[in-house]
């Protein structure tokens, strides 16, 4: 008996002494189990859903998925239990809550309330339990592998290359998903699938196919997800998944996200990521509600299709994608005379084009104003004053956006008054001009046929597409701040000043240089793109080619009805331009050009004749 007691005491001492090693081993192997099983499960999901065009869910696949879910539940149970085990590694409270939530969702398949048929379009019906399990396995796979990729990237790749490869990976995945038989009503080529995927990820909206007729509901869901991920930024999303709740975060990940989202303070970066997701969710949810309530019930067979329509168009509008699931887009009868829906979409486009941190910046100011109102008016206390709460970036973005929209609306009205707008009433002319200018800045929704606009109008739209949206937004273009800094620098140079000032602030020399480089690269890319497409499309009007190229570079999506008629070579030119326009020409240049070390000396300065 004494020997048994002695054995257990020694075992207890060994466990306590090696608690960290045991915990580390258990966490590591359980995570490997999650990685492997979720990937295998996702392969089963793709093979069942993607290649079964009739969507008859077989028991063989579902039994396999159930075994995988049971295994995943065991792995997550181990990870949750290890949290209460002494030793390291430790996890944050948020990560613990996420694991408990996933463990709870995995356990739902033991209950009967998910065990019924939805019975949609097929006599065997859809088991909600199966759909739920498929979605859950996919989410777990994405989350687990995002964390792995984040750990690989943080020491092996620069932030710029991370940005580029994240977009490339998402585009490739989207292309493969869109080529599945279940995604399309008819077979499409690899080029068309790649073009559609790139257009969705880069939130452009150009399309060689009719989204409404060529793609099934599954394909449209894939496109919607690609738009959402591309709109809020691949790195924002993957970094949020990979770093949310983790106790340690790499500097390279922080720099990568900071480079994409201009204006973020590194010390507040990860709080800002949560704010981004919250802002996106709130604005898009509000858009869904407003669009849903204004949709005519007679145009839809049921409330599910009505809701899915509102959801897709809210995401497409806020992400400035301009992709629609109905034939002819905004020129369809659903949108005809639906000024409320169009105004909602225009509002979503403007908010998406302002930039996440511009919105958050003004939300902070509004919150301060409300607190001061309550303190001073109701409680009689002294107001709180915070200098420069709205930073110079926010001021430049808002003022430039307002000027572009107002001036653009006036010019569009003047140019098209006796052309496309000829038979419109005065209010319709003003609103159509306003909506067209708003969408031309990166969204791509269209209530008019751009194939019949005047040449001055085409040049106006090209300029708006070239300028684009704002930094850190869902839109493209050279950005409003780049354009504003270039204009301010030109005025300063004309006045003989050596520095540029705005709102009692001096704009840094580095900002002026970056603006010049961005403008230079965008113009060079446009010239090369037009030159190549003019070679491939020798019978096409030059104006249409120019319009198409700037639409791709600005990730806008407007077209003079040329995109579906392009040759394979021209499609690849536009694919490249859409990709470069979304990630930024400077980002590509910096990513693949060797960095120079800081010099400890300066060469003699000389003047160059200009």
Residue 117, SS3 per DSSP: strand
**pLDDT (tens digit per residue) in 309-365:** 999 999 999 998 888 888 877 777 777 777 888 899 999 999 988 887 788 878 877
What lies within 8 Å, CB to CB, of 395 at 6+ separation is 503
pTM comes to: 0.79
**pLDDT (tens digit per residue) in 135-190:** 888 888 888 887 777 676 666 666 677 778 888 888 998 998 898 888 888 888 89
**pLDDT (tens digit per residue) in 479-529:** 999 999 999 998 888 888 878 888 778 888 888 888 888 999 999 999 999
**pLDDT (tens digit per residue) in 436-468:** 999 998 888 888 889 889 999 999 999 999 998
Taking all residues of the chain, what is their mean pLDDT, rounded to a whole number? 80
pLDDT band at residue 29 under the 50/70/90 scheme:
confident
pLDDT average, residue stretch 219-226? 92
Angstrom distance (rounded) from CA 368 to CA 356:
18
Name the strand (E) or helix (H) holding 507. Answer: strand 505-507
Read off the tokens for 405: 């929209």
Please check the confidence at residue 271 and state whether its pLDDT lies above 70: no
**Which pLDDT score, from 0 to 100, does residue 364 have?**
78
**Which pLDDT score, from 0 to 100, does residue 366 have?**
79
Residue 326 is given by DSSP the state: S
DSSP per residue over 241-309, as a string? HHHTT-S---HHHHHHHHHHSTT--GGGHHHHHHHHHHHHHHHHHHHHHHHHHHS-GGG-SSHHHHHHH
pLDDT average, residue stretch 71-90? 78
Residue 492, SS3 per DSSP: helix
What lies within 8 Å, CB to CB, of 34 at 6+ separation is 72, 75, 76, 140, 144
Read off the tokens for 270: 């990860």
Residue 451 is given by DSSP the state: G
């Amino acid at each position: 008996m004494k020997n048994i007691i002695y054995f257990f005491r020694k075992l207890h001492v060994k466990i306590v002494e090696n608690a960290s090693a045991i915990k580390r081993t258990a966490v590591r192997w359980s995570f490997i189990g999650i990685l492997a099983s979720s990937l295998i499960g996702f392969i089963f999901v793709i093979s069942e859903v993607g290649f079964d065009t009739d969507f008859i869910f077989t028991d063989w696949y579902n039994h396999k998925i159930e075994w995988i879910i049971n295994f995943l539940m065991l792995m997550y149970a181990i990870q949750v239990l290890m949290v209460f085990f002494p030793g390291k590694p430790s996890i944050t409270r948020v990560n613990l809550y996420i694991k408990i939530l996933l463990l709870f969702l995995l356990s739902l398949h033991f209950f009967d309330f998910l065990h019924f048929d939805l019975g949609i379009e097929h006599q065997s019906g859809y088991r909600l339990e199966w759909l739920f399990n498929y979605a859950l396995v996919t989410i777990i796979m994405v989350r687990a592998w995002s964390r792995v990729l984040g750990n690989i990237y943080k020491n092996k790749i620069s932030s710029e290359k991370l940005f580029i490869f994240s977009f490339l990976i998402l585009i490739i995945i989207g292309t493969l998903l869109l080529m599945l038989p279940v995604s399309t009503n008819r077979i499409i080529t690899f080029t068309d699938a790649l073009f559609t995927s790139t257009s969705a990820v880069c939130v452009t909206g150009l399309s060689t196919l009719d989204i409404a007729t060529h793609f099934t509901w599954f394909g449209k869901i894939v496109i919607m997800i690609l738009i959402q991920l591309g709109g809020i930024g691949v790195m924002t999303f993957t970094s949020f998944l990979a770093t949310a709740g983790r106790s340690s975060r790499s500097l390279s990940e922080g720099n990568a996200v900071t480079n994409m989202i201009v204006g973020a303070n590194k010390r507040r970066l990860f709080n800002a990521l949560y704010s981004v997701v919250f802002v996106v969710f709130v604005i898009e949810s509000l858009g869904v509600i407003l669009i849903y309530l204004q949709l005519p019930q007679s145009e839809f067979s049921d409330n599910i299709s009505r809701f899915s329509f509102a959801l897709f168009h809210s995401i497409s509008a806020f992400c400035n994608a301009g992709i629609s699931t109905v034939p002819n887009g905004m020129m369809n009868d659903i949108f005809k005379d639906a000024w409320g829906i169009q105004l909602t979409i225009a509002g979503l486009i403007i908010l998406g084009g302002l930039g996440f941190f511009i919105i958050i910046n003004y939300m902070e100011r509004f919150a301060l104003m409300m607190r001061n109102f309550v303190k001073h008016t109701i409680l009689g206390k002294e107001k709180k004053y915070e200098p420069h709460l709205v930073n110079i970036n926010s001021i430049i973005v808002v003022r430039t956006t307002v000027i572009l929209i107002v001036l653009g609306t006036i010019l569009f009205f003047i140019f098209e008054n006796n052309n496309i707008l000829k038979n419109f009433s005065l209010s319709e002319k003003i609103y159509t001009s306003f909506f067209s200018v708003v969408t031309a800045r990166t969204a791509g929704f269209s209530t008019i046929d751009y194939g019949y606009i005047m040449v001055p109008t085409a040049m106006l739209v090209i300029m708006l597409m070239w300028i684009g949206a704002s930094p850190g937004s869902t839109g493209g273009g050279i950005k409003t701040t780049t354009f504003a800094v270039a204009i301010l620098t030109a005025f300063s140079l004309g006045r003989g000043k050596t520095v540029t000032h705005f709102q009692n602030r001096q704009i840094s020399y580095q900002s002026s240089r970056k603006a010049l480089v961005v403008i230079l690269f965008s113009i060079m890319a446009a010239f090369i793109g037009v030159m190549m497409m003019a070679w491939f499309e020798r019978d096409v009007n030059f104006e249409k080619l120019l319009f198409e190229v700037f639409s791709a570079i600005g990730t806008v999506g407007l077209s003079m009805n040329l995109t579906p008629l392009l040759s394979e070579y021209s499609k690849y030119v536009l694919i490249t331009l859409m990709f470069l326009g979304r990630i930024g020409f400077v980002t590509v240049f910096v990513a693949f050009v060797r960095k120079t070390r800081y010099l400890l000396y300066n060469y003699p300065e000389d003047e160059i004749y200009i």
